[in-house]
Amino acid sequence: MSLPDSAPKNGADQNSADQEIADELVSVVATWVDREVVPRASELEHADEFPQEMFDQMCEFGLFGATIPAEYGGLGLSAKTYARLIEELSRGWMSLSGILNTHKIACVMIGRYGTDEQRSKHLPRMVDGHYRAAFSLSEPDSGSDAGALRCRAARDGDEWIINGTKMWVTNGERASLVMLLARTPDDRVTCFIVEKEPGSEFEGIRTSKHIRKLGYKGLETVEMSYVDHRVPDANLLGGPEGLGNGLRYALSALELGRINIAARSVGVGRAAFDAAMKYSLERETFGRPIFEHQAIAFKLAEMATKLQAARLMTYDAAEKYDSGQRIDLEAGMAKLFASEAAFEISTEALRIHGGNGYTQEYDVERYFRDSPLMIIGEGTSEIQKMVIARKLRERHAIE
C-alpha cells in the first residue's frame, strides 16, 4: 500500500492541494486499518506482542514524520490531520497510537525549543520511526505532581551526569532518543536529549522488564534507571536558555499529546459504538433485534451523541493548535470530555453485548480494557479539571 504523491503547489491552490493529500493519506490509513489491523489486533494484543509488521507499515506511510516540517524531510501535516490519523489507528488498535505519541511530543519539543543545531541533527532522523523517541517525565513518586521530580542532573565540565528513576516510559526500550526531565543543582527542572542504543542497558541506563498492564498492550511501558549516565552539554534542550525551562517546554508539547489522547478516545469510542450498533441489529430477544427495545436504542443514541461531541471538541483543539494559539484550555477540555466519553461508550457497548461482551471472542472487551488509559494518560481527568479551571479564571478575570 503506497502513500499519496505530493504534487508541487503554488498560489491559491496550495491549501486545497494540501487538504487533498491529507484526505488521501487518512483514507489510505483507514483502508489499511480495516484490512490489516482489525483482523489481527486482538490476537497481538492478548499475546502482548509488539506489532513489528504494522510498525514497519506506519514507517512507510511516513506517520512518524507526519507533523515534522517538510524542510526536515517530514510531511508537515496539520494537527487536525494528525488527530484524524490517530482516530483511524485507534479504532483498529489503540496501542498503535501510543507508538506515535511520545515520538510526536519529542518532535514538538525539539522543533519548538531546540537550538538550530539540535533541530538539524535530530528532526531529519526522527522522520523515520526506526529512530524513535520516548518522553520521560513521570517518576515512581511523581506522577500528576510533575514539580516533585527527584531525578538529578549535575554538571561535570562539558557534560551532565544523570541519576534517578523514571516510570511509565512508553517506547523506552526501543527508543533511540529520550526527552528526559531532571532537576539541576539550582533546583530547576531542565530537559535533556538523551541518545541511546535501543536495548535493555546502555552506558548507565537500565530498562526494566515491561510493566504488565490491564490493556494498552503490544508496546512496552517500562521503568528506566539512570546511574551516572553522561549527557553532553550540547544535548541540553534549547542550549543555555533551556536551563530551568524543561517543565514549561514539556507542558507546552503535551498540548499535542492531549490532542493525541482525545483522538485515541474518539477512535476507541467509535469502534465500541460501531460494534454495539452492529450487535444490536443482529442480536434478537423476544422475537426482534435488541435495537428495537427502547432501553438499548436510548443507550446507542447517547453513545452516538457523546462520540460526535468528543470528535468536534478534538478537532476544535487541533485547529486552534494549528493556528499557533496556546490551547491549554481547549486541549484540556477535549482530553477530559473525550476520554470520559470513550470509557462510558465502551462500558455501554460491553453491556449491550451482555455475556458475550465479557468474552475474548468479541473486541468490546479490549475496548473496555483500553479506555481507562485515556482517563489517566497525559494528566488524569482531575488534573484536566484543574487546568481548565485555572485557564477559565485567567480568561474571565475581573478588571
Give one DSSP letter per residue of 46-76, joined into a string: HHT---HHHHHHHHHHTGGGTTS-GGGTS--
Confirm if 352 and 290 have CB atoms less than 8 A apart.
yes
pLDDT tens digits, one per residue of 224-276: 999 999 999 999 999 999 999 999 999 999 999 999 999 999 999 999 999 99
The alpha helices in 283-293, defined as continuous H runs, are none
Strand ranges, E, within 124-220: 133-136, 152-156, 159-170, 177-183, 189-195, 201-202, 205-207
133-244 is a CATH 2.40.110.10 domain? yes
Q: Is residue 398 predicted with pLDDT exceeding 50?
A: yes
Catalytic residue among 87, 220, 255, 378: 378
Copy the grid coordinates of residue 100: 506515535
Three-class SS state of 219 = coil
Task: Tell me how far apart the alpha carbons of residues 210 and 90 are, in angstroms, rounded to a whole number.
Answer: 22
Q: What pLDDT was estimated at residue 232?
A: 96
Please confirm, yes or no, whether 378 is among the known catalytic residues.
Answer: yes
Query: What residues does CATH 1.10.540.10 cover in the chain?
Result: 13-126
Residues 6 or more apart whose Cβ sits within 8 Å of residue 47 = none
Chain centre to alpha carbon of residue 332: 14
Confirm if 63 and 30 have CB atoms less than 8 A apart.
no
Residues 6 or more apart whose Cβ sits within 8 Å of residue 150 = 139, 141, 142, 164, 165, 183
Q: What pLDDT was estimated at residue 8?
A: 46
Q: In whole numbers, what is the pLDDT of the chain averaged over residues?
A: 92
Taking CA atoms, 333 is separated from 45, 79, 258, 311, 394, in Å, by 30, 16, 9, 12, 15
pLDDT tens digits, one per residue of 54-101: 999 999 999 999 999 999 999 999 999 999 999 999 999 999 999 999
pLDDT tier, 21 (very low <50, low <70, confident <90, very high otherwise): confident
- Beta strand 201-202 with 288-289 is unpaired
H or E element in which residue 43 lies: helix 41-47
Q: What pLDDT was estimated at residue 198?
A: 83
Residue with cell 489499511: 32
CATH (one of 1.10.1380.10, 1.10.540.10, 3.40.50.1000, 2.40.50.140) for 13-126? 1.10.540.10
CATH (one of 3.40.50.720, 1.20.140.10, 1.10.10.10, 1.20.120.530) for 248-395? 1.20.140.10
Facing residues of 142 across strands? 139
User: Please, what is the angle between helix 328-353 and helix 364-376, to 10°?
Assistant: 150
Residues 6 or more apart whose Cβ sits within 8 Å of residue 274 = 91
Q: What pLDDT was estimated at residue 1?
A: 55
pLDDT tens digits, one per residue of 197-230: 886 567 889 988 778 999 999 999 999 999 999 9
Query: What residues does CATH 1.20.140.10 cover in the chain?
Result: 248-395
- Find the mean pLDDT for residues 342-366: 97
pLDDT tier, 16 (very low <50, low <70, confident <90, very high otherwise): low
Query: What residues does CATH 2.40.110.10 cover in the chain?
Result: 133-244
Listed residue (124, 101, 1, 3) closest to 53, CA to CA? 1
Listed residue (214, 340, 268) closest to 86, CA to CA? 268
Count CB-CB contacts under 10 A for residue 270: 23
Facing residues of 206 across strands? 201, 225
Residues 6 or more apart whose Cβ sits within 8 Å of residue 147 = 189, 247
Task: Tell me how far apart the alpha carbons of residues 185 and 160 are, in angstroms, rounded to a whole number.
Answer: 11
pLDDT tens digits, one per residue of 180-195: 999 999 999 999 999 9
117 or 6: which carries more pLDDT confidence?
117
